Amino acid sequence: MRALVTGGCGFIGSNLVHGLVTRGWQVDIVDDLSNGYMQFLDGISNVRAVLSTLLPYYQNSSRAQDTVLMIEGDIEDRNVLTRIESGAYNVIFHMAANPRVTYTVEQPAITFDINVTRTIRILESIRNSSRPIRFIFSSTSAVYGNNATLPTPVSQVCAPLSPYGLQKLTIEEFLKQATSLYGIDAVSLRYANVYGPRQLGNSPYSTAISAWCNCVNEGLPLRSDGDGEQTRDMVYVDDVVRANILAATRVEPFKGEVFNVGTGTRVSNNTILSFFKERFGELQVNTAPPRPGDVRDTQLDISHTAQGLGWTPKVSLEEGLMHTWKWWGF
């Protein structure tokens, strides 16, 4: 199996790359390193980096099966799209995006180009490919907005509160259309709040767990948004990796289906904070206003995913936090 992972040096993408390599896949990555880091590939024995502008001069014949090709550049680079059209891949895992909710509120036009237009260019190349390519899209539970139905099923009417959620929903709808118009084999995975190793927390857009880990590491006060009683469906990154691989290896083709990837449970920020205090002792916590575009509660109904992909989560929050803290060196 040959795969392209867009955004493969980012948090979820790099964890997926490690998982694919462990399973014997040959992997290409395309990443402009705006939100990704080459050191996230540490532990992979063979990584060969090439600028996207020099991609036509790269010879696959000299490449070992276990060599990961890291293509540094934009996903819409003509050389990257040409490689897709040549039939170089069985599967494309599309994880490249600008995932910062607040930033999409501030810059909707810029992030629409990144999250929507460039994704559609990839799909055009898949349509023109010399061989079938399965497209696995990393979507988000942010498409639901604030819903009264918890756990939220995939049949729930979507009402995203942020441009980020709307942009992801736009691609989901386009994929449903593309399967009938162009015969593209495509599926969308709606992630809950993903956490785990390789998730940095030094940005104002960071998730609570990664931000708090960074504060503990730096000896800084922790920031808690709002009253802390907002709840999240927290899913560990290894479970998300398994969902992607199960989607990639399903025998039946997809027709734009959507699957929730969460735990089916929810936990408040205050409860997560209590785990931190139990581990690290009394911590200084500063209260901040709620972030614009953030939903109040998330909890995903994963029954459809269990039936359609044979996937259920395996890692509890307590276990996931221990793995995460270990990666941070705590």
Distance, in Å, from the CA atom of 260 to the CA atom of 120, rounded to the nearest integer, reads 22
Distance, in Å, from the CA atom of 328 to the CA atom of 214, rounded to the nearest integer, reads 8
- 276: its two tokens: 């931190």
Distance, in Å, from the CA atom of 72 to the CA atom of 41, rounded to the nearest integer, reads 13
Distance, in Å, from the CA atom of 10 to the CA atom of 151, rounded to the nearest integer, reads 28
Tell me how crowded residue 146 is: count the other CB atoms within 10 A of its CB.
12
Question: Catalytic site residue 236?
Answer: no
Query: Contacts for 275-281 with beta carbons within 8 Å, 24 or more apart?
Result: 275/317, 275/318, 275/321, 276/212, 276/216, 276/222, 279/321, 279/325, 279/330, 280/216, 280/330
- Would you call the peptide bond into 153 cis, given omega within 30 degrees of 0 as the criterion? no
Distance, in Å, from the CA atom of 192 to the CA atom of 94, rounded to the nearest integer, reads 17
Instruction: Note the Cα 114 to chain centre separation in Å.
Output: 15
- 104: its two tokens: 């999409």
- Which among 89, 164, 195, 236 is annotated as catalytic? 164
Whether 237 contacts 263, CB under 8 Å: no
Distance, in Å, from the CA atom of 237 to the CA atom of 138, rounded to the nearest integer, reads 13
Helix (H, G, I), strand (E, B) or coil at 218: helix
**Residues with catalytic annotation?**
164
